[in-house]
Amino acid sequence: MEPQNIYKVELHAHTDETSLCGHVPAAGQVELYLKGGYQCLVLTDHYFPDFFTKFYPGKSWDEYADMLLAGYRAAKKAAEGTALTVLLGFELRSYEGMEDFLCYGMTEEDVYRYPMICQKSVKDMCDFAHEKGWLINQAHPYRDDYAQLHPVKDPTLIDAVEVYNGTPYVHNHNELALEWARKHHVPALSGSDAHRDYGACRGGIAFPYPIYSSQALIEGIKKQDYTLLRTQDEMQY
Ligand SMILES: [Zn+2]
Ligand SMILES: [Zn+2]
């Protein structure tokens, strides 16, 4: 067998510009992922009700959209002329619960056009995403801090589930997520959930071909053309 080329794609990463919990600016993430040999970096900054109502109340939707896109835009700029493709994603949370849903396929125009999709119920938010052709990947469904208390894990609402979350300083119970994905025949994905420099390049997926657009990413995930990238969890406990 010919050795196959591998194209690494990060599916879960945050920027300091947009995520309140982010510690690495977009340009720093681009540098880390280039160094880590990734071909594609999907930024998934947080998009959740408190961002608008509690942390930054009283702005127009256009101002909010600019804020939500700030990290992605800075990363895209930093990646110009490099081998790294930067794609737009979000980590959505509905007002209804504590679960986080990674969403791929939303365009910059979509962000302006459809305000406050986090004001929908979990079901309506997922249905809306599917109507628009976006893909929903439930993030860290068994993470200790909240998800076990709010176990909305409905295989009919999601396209995929994160069975490896690389965050080194929380307990994600990745093994339970993998078990759940197998039981319900939901495609399994991996992501670093990178908030800090030492959290980068710990997860993701690898395709045998490069990914240059969200559309290609969604198709590749649906066809399950990838293998999972995982870092051994010696850093977790
Ligand atoms: Zn975060
Ligand atoms: Zn995250």
What would the mean pLDDT of 197-216 be, rounded to a whole number?
97
List the one residue out of 110, 136, 120, 124 whose CA is nearest residue 11: 136
Please tell me the predicted confidence (pLDDT) of residue 39. 98
- Kindly report, residue by residue over 142-166, the tens digit of the pLDDT: 888 765 555 567 899 999 999 999 9
Q: Within the chain, what is the greatest distance between any pair of CA atoms? A: 60
Which two structure tokens, joined as six digits, stand for 6?
Answer: 């591998």
Which two structure tokens, joined as six digits, stand for 219?
Answer: 């198709």
Cα 211 to ligand 1 centroid, rounded to whole Å:
25
What would the mean pLDDT of 79-87 be, rounded to a whole number?
98
- Kindly report, residue by residue over 42-59, the tens digit of the pLDDT: 999 999 999 999 999 999
CATH numbers and ranges of domains, the chain: 7-230 (3.20.20.140)
Considering every ligand atom, which ligand is closest to the CA of 192? Answer: 2
CB 10 within 8 A of CB 41: yes
Please tell me the predicted confidence (pLDDT) of residue 150. 55
* 77 CB-near residues (< 8 Å, 6+ apart): none
Cα 97 to ligand 2 centroid, rounded to whole Å:
16
Please tell me the predicted confidence (pLDDT) of residue 117. 98
Cα 6 to ligand 2 centroid, rounded to whole Å:
24
Considering every ligand atom, which ligand is closest to the CA of 140? Answer: 2
Q: Phi and psi for 62 in degrees, rounded to 5?
A: -60, -40
CA–CA distance, 89 with 91 (Å, rounded to integer): 7
Cα 99 to ligand 1 centroid, rounded to whole Å:
12
CB 68 within 8 A of CB 18: yes
pTM for the complete prediction? 0.95
The average confidence (pLDDT) of the chain is 93
CA–CA distance, 219 with 221 (Å, rounded to integer): 5
Please tell me the predicted confidence (pLDDT) of residue 180. 92
Cα 14 to ligand 2 centroid, rounded to whole Å:
7
Cα 55 to ligand 2 centroid, rounded to whole Å:
18
CA–CA distance, 37 with 160 (Å, rounded to integer): 25
Cα 15 to ligand 1 centroid, rounded to whole Å:
9
